[in-house]
């Protein structure tokens, strides 16, 4: 299944989906040394997003986000690609500087279409999300 | 997207590799947000110690300055060594710090090293476009002076400082600067309020706002003193994502509620009374016992008046725990001329032009190593938030006087919210 979206940062990448049904900030929510989600008490706490496709609702958080995105990418601990409902300037700056292929404003509700563990291909340059369901062959 | 000839040259690398990378970052940001063009900034305010070394070198490579740029607080690791509080990482931090300072001299940037450069007379006019690093600088210049400062990521602000260009979006546009949410202060006895009280109020307001909304506050006296107005707006981007707060009757874009809202009705009205203040005050006290190991002032960087008050309270006293005042070097110099610095240092206090919350060398485990302290008293809600959240400290929140008493006795005897 394919869903159109808008480009935030160009590039192509793929991986297993990690679905965070809430807003996300690199600063505070991600440990750039381990690639693990670090939100205390969050259901994804301790889950690694390294080389996975991270799906979340909106960008948030302080202006320091790009530093963490950059360090995570340098450490090989950044998501391979990211999808969100709507990016904001700090999130956009983070993914563009760290060069993480990212799309936002998907045409369909991705939270209904993508479950954790599905395989997702993101062509952020063309603005296409391809979903390969976990159970399909 | 429309680029001027000069911007096109920057993008093509004709003005050097650093300028090219900076312009590329801004152009990509514009494209992601359907922004048609950038606008010229008057001056900018940049981070440096906070920027990863490899990114710093890439974006400053071969750059010639195009406008005035000032700097955000430094780490000043040379003082950690002098005071005997440095951990084993200090040598590495020092080398990177020195390299960046060398580059800053080449770029002819002003080393203001402060989160409150308006105290140095570097003040934007209403409507002036000034890209700023740090949510504290963004909200202060936006709200208190009516400058145009957008919420931006640290690296994009750095790119704006290098290119002199800012994407024409968000709070750059007058139509996006009106308030959305109204906060009405009611039934509070504010006669004896200190800046800690305004800080607590601002922290509550920020925590009630989701997403990027502008707020307005009513129910406070007109022409609120600068220190109180600043204390009120500064915590809002820490507990929330507010970048512009209109204090009706005080700030330049809010002579009246109607003007602050652009003639529209508020999307939401929230009232603030004693319960909200009491609960927030309690929430800012995140400690298990009453032992205080450190007191930190200067979040945001202290004014000369604050330092004068601290000196008066410390006169003739000896501190039990180290006290740090975050202040810019020019303000510290004035404190020295006035004799305040002498009094404070004689009692055992220190000055540093660092961020006393996020990069406090007494508290940060990666700076102080095994010397680190974990229980800190503050008079700023923003400080309490970041010392607990980023540095993992137990925090005591109260008035400046309560913090000074704790620095002298080593115990917290601060009370609950009153007023």
Distance, in Å, from the CA atom of A113 to the CA atom of A130, rounded to the nearest integer, reads 11
Q: Please tell me the distance in Å from A113's CA to the nearest CA on chain B.
A: 24
The answer to whether the Cβ–Cβ distance between A67 and B33 falls below 8 Å is no
* Contact criterion met (CB < 8 Å) for A71 and B52: yes
The pLDDT assigned to B253 comes to 98
Q: Which among B179, B200, B178 has a CA at the least distance from the CA of B188?
A: B200
Which residues are within 8 A (CB) of A62 and not within 5 positions of it... i.e. 6 or more apart?
Answer: A25, A27, A28, A90, B135, B237, B238
For A60-73, write each residue's pLDDT tens digit.
877 889 999 999 99
Tell me the chain B residues in contact with residue A58 when contact means C-beta distances shorter than 8 Å.
211
Whether the upstream peptide bond of residue B300 has omega within 30° of 0, thus cis, is yes
Residue of A nearest to B167 (CA): A89
Domain that holds residue A91: 2-133
* pLDDT for res A136: 64
What's the whole-model pTM score? 0.93
Strand, coil or helix: B124: coil
Instruction: Output the six-digit token pair for B327.
Output: 């202040």
What pLDDT does A127 receive?
A: 98
Report the pLDDT value the prediction gives residue A51, as an integer from 0 to 100.
97
State the pLDDT at residue A40: 75
| Helix boundaries (H) for B284-328 | 304-314
Instruction: Tell me the pairing of strands B245-247 and B215-218.
Output: parallel
Q: Which residues of A are catalytic?
A: 62
Task: Residue B169: list chain A partners with CB under 8 A.
Answer: 89
Report yes or no: B289 at the A interface, CB cutoff 8 Å. no
Can you tell me the distance from the alpha carbon of B50 to that of B19, in angstroms, rounded to the nearest whole number? Answer: 20
Domain count of the fold of chain A: 1
Degrees, nearest 5: CA angle B182-B184-B188:
160
CATH number of the domain where residue A93 is located: 3.50.30.10
| pLDDT tens sequence across A79-110 | 999 999 999 999 999 999 999 999 999 999 99
Give, in degrees to the nearest 5, the angle at Cα B99 between B93 and B105. Answer: 130
Chain A contact for B304 (CB, 8 A cutoff): no
Per the CB < 8 Å rule, is A88 touching B151? yes
Backbone angles phi, psi at A93, to 5 degrees: -60, -40
**B102 touches B56 (CB < 8 A):** no
The tens-digit pLDDT sequence of chain B (419 residues) is 999 999 999 999 999 999 999 999 999 999 999 999 999 999 999 999 989 999 999 999 999 999 999 999 988 899 988 888 888 889 999 999 999 999 999 999 999 999 999 999 999 999 999 999 999 999 999 999 999 999 999 999 999 999 999 999 999 999 999 999 999 999 999 999 999 999 999 999 999 998 789 999 999 999 999 999 999 999 999 888 899 999 999 999 999 999 999 999 999 999 999 999 999 999 999 999 999 999 999 999 999 999 999 999 999 999 999 999 999 999 999 999 999 999 999 999 999 999 999 889 999 888 888 889 999 999 999 999 989 887 889 999 999 999 999 999 999 999 889 87
- Give the C-alpha separation, B181 to B173, whole Å: 18
**A-chain residue closest to B160, CA distance:** A93
What contacts B67, CB < 8 A, 6 or more positions away?
A: B41, B42, B43, B44, B161, B164
Q: Which of B31, B134, B153 sits opposite A90 (nearest CB)?
A: B153
Contact: B32, A60; criterion CB under 8 Å: no
Query: Chain B closest CA to A135's CA: distance in Å?
Result: 34
CB within 8 Å: A74 and B154: no
Looking at the complex, report in whole angstroms how far the Cα of residue A39 sits from the nearest Cα belonging to chain B: 11
| Tokens 């929330």, located at residue | B240
Compare all CA atoms of chain B with the CA of A103 and give the residue at the minimum distance: B32
CA distance linking residue B189 with residue B83, whole number of Å: 43
CA dihedral B386, B391, B393, B395 (to 10 degrees): -20
Q: Is B133 on the interface with A (CB under 8 A)?
A: yes
Give the DSSP letter of residue A24. B
- Parallel/antiparallel/unpaired status of strands A102-104 and A6-9: antiparallel
Q: Which residues contact B345 (CB under 8 A, 6 or more apart)?
A: B351
pLDDT at A41: 78
Distance CA B355, CA B273 (A): 31
Closest Cα in chain B, distance from residue A88 (Å): 8
Q: What is the pLDDT of residues A27-43, one digit of tens each?
A: 888 999 999 998 777 88
The reported pLDDT for the residue numbered B400 is: 97
Closest CA to B237 of B315, B140, B376, B100: B140
- Residue A70 has a pLDDT of 97
Q: Which residues of B are less than 8 Å from A71 in CB distance?
A: 52
Bridge partners of B395, per DSSP, are: B286, B376
Q: Which residue has the tokens 């290119």?
A: B163
Cα Rg for chain B, rounded, in angstroms? 21
Of A74, A88, A92, the CB nearest to B212: A88
Residue B247's beta-bridge partner residues?
B217
Q: Which of A31, A58, A65, A97 is most worth mutating to test chain B (most B CB atoms within 10 A of its CB)?
A: A97
- Per-residue confidence (pLDDT) for residue A60, from 0 to 100: 82
pLDDT of residue B272: 98
- Which residue is closest to B48 within chain A, CA to CA? A67
pLDDT of residue B87: 87
The SS3 assignment for A132 reads: strand
Q: Using CB atoms, pick whichever of A10, A74, A89 lies closest to residue B153.
A: A89
């Amino acid at each position: 299944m394919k869903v159109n979206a808008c480009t935030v940062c160009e590039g192509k990448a793929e991986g297993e989906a990690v679905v965070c049904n809430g807003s996300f900030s690199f600063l505070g929510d991600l440990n750039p040394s381990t690639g693990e989600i670090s939100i205390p008490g969050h259901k994804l706490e301790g889950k690694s997003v390294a080389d996975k496709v991270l799906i979340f609702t909106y960008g948030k958080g302080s202006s320091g986000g790009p530093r963490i995105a950059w360090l995570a990418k340098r450490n090989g601990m950044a998501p391979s690609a990211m999808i969100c409902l709507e990016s904001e300037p700090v999130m956009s700056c983070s993914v563009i500087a760290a060069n993480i292929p990212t799309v936002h404003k998907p045409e369909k509700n991705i939270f209904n279409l993508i479950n954790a563990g599905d395989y997702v291909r993101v062509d952020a340059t063309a603005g296409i999300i391809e979903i390969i369901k976990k159970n399909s062959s | 997207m429309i680029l001027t000839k000069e911007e096109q040259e920057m993008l093509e690398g004709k003005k050097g590799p650093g300028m090219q990378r900076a312009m590329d970052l801004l152009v990509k940001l514009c494209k992601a947000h359907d922004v048609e063009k950038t606008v010229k900034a008057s001056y900018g305010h940049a981070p440096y110690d906070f920027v990863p070394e490899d990114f710093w070198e890439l974006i400053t490579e071969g750059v010639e300055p195009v406008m005035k740029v000032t700097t955000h607080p430094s780490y000043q690791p040379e003082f950690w060594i002098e005071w005997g509080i440095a951990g084993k990482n200090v040598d590495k931090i020092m080398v990177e710090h020195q390299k960046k300072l060398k580059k800053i001299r080449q770029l002819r940037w002003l080393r203001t090293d402060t989160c409150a450069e308006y105290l140095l007379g570097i003040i934007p006019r209403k409507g002036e476009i000034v890209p700023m690093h740090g949510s504290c600088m963004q909200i202060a210049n936006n709200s208190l002076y009516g400058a145009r400062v957008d919420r931006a990521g640290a690296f994009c602000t750095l790119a704006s400082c290098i290119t002199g260009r800012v994407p024409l979006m968000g709070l750059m546009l007058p139509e996006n600067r009106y308030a959305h949410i109204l906060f009405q202060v009611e039934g509070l006895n504010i006669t004896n309020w200190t800046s800690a009280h305004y800080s607590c109020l601002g922290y509550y307001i920020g925590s009630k706002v989701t997403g990027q909304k502008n707020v307005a506050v009513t129910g406070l006296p007109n022409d609120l003193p600068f220190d109180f107005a600043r204390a009120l707006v500064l915590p809002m981007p820490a507990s929330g994502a507010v970048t512009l707060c209109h204090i009706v009757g005080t700030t330049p874009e809010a002579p009246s509620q109607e003007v602050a809202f652009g003639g529209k009705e508020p999307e939401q009205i929230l009232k603030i009374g004693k319960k909200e203040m009491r609960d927030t005050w309690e929430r800012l006290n995140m400690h298990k016992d009453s032992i205080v190991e450190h007191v930190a002032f200067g979040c945001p960087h202290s004014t000369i008046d604050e330092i004068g008050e601290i000196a008066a309270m410390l006169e003739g006293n000896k501190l039990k725990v180290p006290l740090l005042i975050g202040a810019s070097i020019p303000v510290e110099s004035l404190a020295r001329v006035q004799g305040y610095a002498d009094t404070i240092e004689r009692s055992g206090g220190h000055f540093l032009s660092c961020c006393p919350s996020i990069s406090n060398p007494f508290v940060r485990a990666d700076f102080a190593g095994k010397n680190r302290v974990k229980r800190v008293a503050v008079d700023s809600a923003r400080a309490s938030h970041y010392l607990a959240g980023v540095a993992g400290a137990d925090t005591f929140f109260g008035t400046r006087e309560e913090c000074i008493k704790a620095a002298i006795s080593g115990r917290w005897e601060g009370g609950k919210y009153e007023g």
